[in-house]
């Protein structure tokens, strides 16, 4: 071999070695600094997905994501309503600690009487915006070099407390409103997201904005938070999807009745609303768009995906959209149907090492878990009420008997009562503020919350009550106050109306929506509008 040939071989070897170590370095980097995609659905119930037991709603994209994830079967929202849960996700704190205990905009104190509810208590005051002193999860990632993106529902304060004020570089559609102003089809009324064309679907648009952001971040680490306005009221869908699910309900057999009376409001017992089903499926279509964007850009192996909801499905109040059975209650309620959620975590390089886990987890755990997987130093003074789930996801055990706490000193629009909850070591105690009585459930038999064992285990109830009340005092929780103008006769009259007139109205509406000649309006909530 002559000198030139030897020199050429040496050069080739150097290039090969450089290429090898360069590729190896890139492979290491993607595990050191993974991308994050957080998908939060509004008002989605635990049983509103095919993978969690629905035989009516169709959610193939989310079902597939669940199969690629670890599914926590005892995953909980931090609250039974939206704003408190969202604040807990971003701060890593339980609601009584950060102070946002009701959806922002709900009336408190004497103003509650304007709702004509005639309740025994006046709801407590609460914090009206995400506290600026908190380091949000978005800020933690941004400070670590991540590009941060938010799309969809915010509902954590007005101007000055928008996503861009709490760590997000880009905000598409997040402002103070909790529902889709103007509806799910354009033209809508969102100052942070202008319509592109008439008839455009909001869920699809939010997904497209998220996918576009992903397309632009191929070579840098990102934290993307897709926060759907769906499946919040007003429930709307296209004629095509309505027709699909109307026919499906017919083929499955339409139940004669769809409601029963809960304590103060009727509650839905069946999943057969074709409008809601279409809204759920469109949200699933949107999730598919974003997951496809990850795959098309070769980022699916290096992106952690979170999927959850902010509270239980709406079974009472609002639009009486879904049933959460066998869980009792739904959004706004203190029982499992109000706080149990789909809770999926996909760590792609673990290949779903643990398929399912019944370890009790809650929204506050996302913050430390994601920091842990991204190799960002934990912030225990910030996410004080969360723990990293990394050991569980890697197949290890966590030695902890931590208590989980919920505090809701308000009345839910959906029929829930002012109450606080502690769950620990297989027990759950609910403390009611109207009369200070308790309900005690032994997990997991409490799914329908109809096996109150407080009389069988008085010492356990006392132990948990003292622990709960002590913790609430420790975090300076606020409490409801007695309404000195409470009128028993007015309350009884309202209850009678709900059990009779309202029940009849709901049953009629349910059958009307399932009738073949149903038509909400000429353009189907604007879904049939076309470009001029």
pLDDT at 4: 52
Considering the chain, what percentage of its residues have pLDDT values greater than 70?
93
pLDDT at 30: 42
The whole-angstrom separation of Cα 238 and Cα 520 is 10
More confident residue, 93 or 32: 93
SS (H, E, C) 316-368: CCCCCCCCCCCCCCCCCCCCHHHHECCEEEECHHHCCCCCEECCCEEHHHHHH
pLDDT at 218: 83
pLDDT at 5: 56
pLDDT at 99: 98
Query: What is the DSSP code (8-state) at residue 185?
Result: B
pLDDT in tens, 459-476: 999 999 999 999 999 999
pLDDT at 154: 98
Strand partners, 37: 224, 305
Beta strands in 26-139 (DSSP E): 35-41, 70-72, 75-76, 121-122
Contacts with 100 (C-beta within 8 Å, 6 or more apart), sequence order: 83, 84, 87, 126, 127, 128, 130, 156
Query: What is the DSSP code (8-state) at residue 193?
Result: S
pLDDT at 7: 58
Mean pLDDT confidence for 152-181: 97
The whole-angstrom separation of Cα 452 and Cα 449 is 7
> Tokens standing for 209?
């904005």
Mean pLDDT confidence for 214-242: 96
Asked if pLDDT for residue 23 goes beyond 90, the answer is no
Asked if pLDDT for residue 25 goes beyond 50, the answer is no
pLDDT at 24: 43
Contacts with 122 (C-beta within 8 Å, 6 or more apart), sequence order: 108, 109, 110, 112, 113, 480, 481, 482, 483
pLDDT at 12: 56
pLDDT at 17: 52
For 444, the 3-state DSSP assignment is coil
Q: How confident is the model at residue 87 (pLDDT cuts 50, 70, 90)?
A: very high
Contacts with 487 (C-beta within 8 Å, 6 or more apart), sequence order: 118
pLDDT in tens, 107-116: 999 999 998 8
Tokens 């029982």 correspond to what residue? 335
Contacts with 341 (C-beta within 8 Å, 6 or more apart), sequence order: 44, 46, 75, 76, 77, 308, 309, 310, 311, 312
pLDDT at 19: 53
pLDDT in tens, 41-81: 999 999 999 999 999 999 999 999 999 999 999 999 999 99
Stated pTM of the model: 0.93
> Tokens standing for 341?
């959620």
Q: Kind of pairing, strands 75-76 and 404-408?
A: unpaired
> Tokens standing for 85?
């849960």
- Domain map of the chain by residue range? 34-401+487-513
> Tokens standing for 208?
């497209």
Strand partners, 222: 147
The whole-angstrom separation of Cα 323 and Cα 255 is 13
CA dist 189 → 174, 181, 186, 192, 359 (Å): 12, 5, 8, 9, 41
The whole-angstrom separation of Cα 97 and Cα 90 is 13
Considering the chain, what percentage of its residues have pLDDT values greater than 90?
87
The whole-angstrom separation of Cα 310 and Cα 42 is 6
pLDDT in tens, 411-420: 989 999 999 9
What end-to-end distance do the CA atoms of the chain give, in Å?
75
Asked if pLDDT for residue 367 goes beyond 80, the answer is yes
User: Read out DSSP for 46-77?
Assistant: TTSSGGGT-SSS--HHHHHHHHTSEEETTEE-
Mean residue pLDDT of the chain comes to 93
pLDDT at 28: 36
The whole-angstrom separation of Cα 101 and Cα 99 is 6
Fold of 34-401+487-513: Alkaline Phosphatase, subunit A (3.40.720)
The whole-angstrom separation of Cα 494 and Cα 116 is 9
Task: Determine how many CB atoms are found less than 10 A away from the CB of residue 23.
Answer: 10
Asked if pLDDT for residue 219 goes beyond 80, the answer is yes
Asked if pLDDT for residue 449 goes beyond 70, the answer is no
């Amino acid at each position: 071999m002559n000198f030139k040939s030897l020199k050429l071989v040496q050069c080739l070897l150097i290039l090969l070695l450089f290429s090898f170590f360069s590729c190896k370095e890139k492979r290491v980097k993607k595990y050191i600094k993974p991308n994050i995609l957080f998908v939060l659905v509004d008002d989605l119930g635990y049983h509103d997905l095919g993978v969690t037991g629905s035989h009516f709603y169709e959610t193939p994209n989310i079902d597939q994501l669940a199969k690629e994830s670890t599914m926590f079967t005892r995953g909980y929202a931090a609250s039974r309503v939206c704003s408190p849960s969202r604040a807990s996700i971003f701060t890593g704190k339980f609601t009584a600690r950060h102070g946002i205990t009701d959806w922002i905009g709900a009336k408190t104190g004497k103003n509650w009487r304007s709702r004509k509810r005639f309740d025994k208590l006046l709801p407590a005051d609460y914090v009206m915006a995400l506290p600026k002193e908190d380091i949000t999860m978005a800020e933690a990632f941004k400070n670590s070099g991540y590009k941060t993106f938010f799309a969809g529902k915010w509902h954590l304060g007005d101007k000055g407390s928008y996503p861009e004020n709490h760590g997000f570089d880009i905000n598409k559609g997040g402002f103070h409103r909790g529902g889709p102003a103007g509806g799910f089809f354009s033209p809508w009324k969102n100052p942070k997201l202008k319509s592109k064309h008439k008839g455009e679907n909001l869920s699809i648009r939010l997904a497209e904005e998220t996918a576009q952001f992903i397309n632009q971040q191929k070579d840098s680490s990102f934290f993307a938070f897709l926060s759907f306005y769906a499946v919040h009221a007003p429930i709307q869908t296209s004629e095509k999807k309505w027709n699909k699910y109307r026919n499906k309900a017919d083929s499955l057999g339409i139940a004669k009745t769809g409601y029963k009376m809960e304590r103060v409001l009727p509650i839905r017992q069946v999943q057969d609303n074709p409008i809601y089903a279409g809204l759920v499926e469109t949200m699933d279509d949107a999730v598919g768009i974003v997951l496809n964007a990850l795959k098309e850009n070769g980022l699916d192996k290096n992106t952690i995906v979170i999927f959850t909801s902010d509270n239980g499905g709406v079974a009472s109040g609002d639009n009486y959209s879904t049933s959460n059975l066998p869980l009792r209650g739904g959004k706004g309620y203190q029982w499992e149907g109000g706080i149990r959620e789909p809770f999926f975590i996909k760590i792609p390089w673990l290949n779903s090492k643990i398929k399912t886990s019944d370890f009790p987890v809650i929204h506050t755990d996302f913050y430390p878990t994601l920091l842990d997987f991204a190799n960002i130093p934990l912030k225990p003074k910030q996410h004080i009420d969360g723990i990293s789930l990394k050991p569980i996801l890697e197949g290890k055990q966590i030695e902890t008997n931590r208590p989980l706490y919920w505090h809701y000193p308000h009345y839910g629009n959906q029929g829930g009562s002012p109450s606080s909850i502690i769950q620990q070591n297989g027990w759950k105690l609910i403390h009611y503020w109207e009369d200070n009585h308790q309900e005690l459930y032994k997990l997991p038999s409490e799914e329908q919350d109809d096996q109150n064992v407080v009389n069988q285990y008085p010492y356990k109830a006392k132990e948990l009550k003292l622990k709960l009340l002590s913790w609430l005092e420790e975090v300076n929780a606020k409490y409801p106050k007695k309404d000195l103008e409470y009128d028993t006769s007015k309350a009884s009259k309202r209850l009678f109306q709900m059990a009779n007139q309202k029940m009849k109205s709901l049953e009629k509406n349910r059958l009307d929506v399932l009738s073949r000649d149903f038509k909400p309006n000429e353009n189907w909530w604007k879904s049939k509008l076309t470009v001029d």
